[in-house]
Amino acid sequence: MAILPIVEVPDPRLRLVCAPVETIDDEVRQLVADMTETMYDARGIGLAAIQVGVARRVVVIDLQERETEDEEKPEAVRDPRAYINPEIISVSEETSRYNEGCLSIPEQYAEVERPARCRVAWLDLDGQRHEEDMDGLMATCMQHEIDHLNGVLFIDHITRLKRDMLLKKLAKARKNAA
Ligand code: GNR
Ligand code: NI
């Protein structure tokens, strides 16, 4: 396994439409393993392959809360799931708001409104097809990740004013860190 560098805005790769996985081979399994390690290292709850520079429709998610913010999650409570070629089948009319963040837009957050529930289909690492209704944080996170596969970021769902403010704050934070 390897911790891979995370692609950040304004990298144009984040705007690519990713290609479906045709065969679940060792390369895909290696990618999922590396994405999982990278997600935990970065303390994210999800990660799309394009965030490590690979333009394929692969997502990993583990929503589980950590004990404290700066404590790394113990192996025992880790429950990483891989979603290959995930697709939204339907969404609820009801929406919900969540204060979203993204590892590709470090330390910036904004309230995003999305469908509260969605039905999602995907393949697991054995090539088995699954279909499931999702709600709560899982529905939000899955929609955020599938957006990445289509070159969409959470800042595309907020007003231009809020987006410009957020990107300005990011530029400032980067400048201060440099
Ligand atoms: O770690 C993450 N937290 C998060 C919080 C609210 C909504 C979505 C997310 S996903 C994000 C990790 C990430 O950037 N995934 O693409
Ligand atoms: Ni993200």
Tell me the pLDDT of the chain averaged across its residues.
95
Rounded to an integer, what distance in angstroms lies between the CA atom of residue 47 and that of residue 40?
10
Q: Which CATH class is domain 12-177?
A: alpha beta
pLDDT digits (tens, 9 = 90+) for 98-117: 999 999 999 999 999 999 99
Rounded to an integer, what distance in angstroms lies between the CA atom of residue 61 and that of residue 140?
11
Cα 73 to averaged position of ligand 1 atoms, centre (Å): 16
Question: Which residues belong to the active site?
Answer: 145
Q: Which atom of ligand 1 is nearest the CA belonging to 45?
A: 1
Q: Which atom of ligand 1 is nearest the CA belonging to 102?
A: 14
Which residues is 102 bridged to in the sheet? 105
Question: Among residues of the chain, what percentage have pLDDT more than 90?
Answer: 90
Q: For 82, phi and psi rounded to 5 degrees?
A: -105, 140
pLDDT digits (tens, 9 = 90+) for 55-64: 999 999 999 8
pTM of model > 0.85: yes
**Pocket mutation for ligand 1, best pick of 103, 105, 143, 148 (most atoms within 8 Å of C-beta):** 103
pLDDT digits (tens, 9 = 90+) for 42-78: 999 999 999 999 999 999 999 986 555 666 777 768 8
State the ligand closest to the CA atom of 145.
Answer: 1
Cα 86 to averaged position of ligand 1 atoms, centre (Å): 16
Instruction: Please answer whether residues 53 and 4 qualify as being in contact, where contact means their C-beta atoms are separated by less than 8 angstroms.
Output: yes
Cα 99 to averaged position of ligand 1 atoms, centre (Å): 10
Q: Which atom of ligand 1 is nearest the CA belonging to 44?
A: 1
Instruction: Please answer whether residues 46 and 38 qualify as being in contact, where contact means their C-beta atoms are separated by less than 8 angstroms.
Output: no
Please name the amino acid found at residue 112. V
State the ligand closest to the CA atom of 142.
Answer: 1
Instruction: Please answer whether residues 165 and 153 qualify as being in contact, where contact means their C-beta atoms are separated by less than 8 angstroms.
Output: no
Which pLDDT score, from 0 to 100, does residue 70 have?
Answer: 65
Instruction: Enumerate residues lining ligand 1, CB below 6 A.
Output: 44-48, 51, 98, 100-104, 140-141, 144-145, 148
pLDDT digits (tens, 9 = 90+) for 121-141: 999 999 999 999 999 999 999
Q: Residue of the nearest CA to atom 11 in ligand 1?
A: 102
Cα 47 to averaged position of ligand 1 atoms, centre (Å): 7
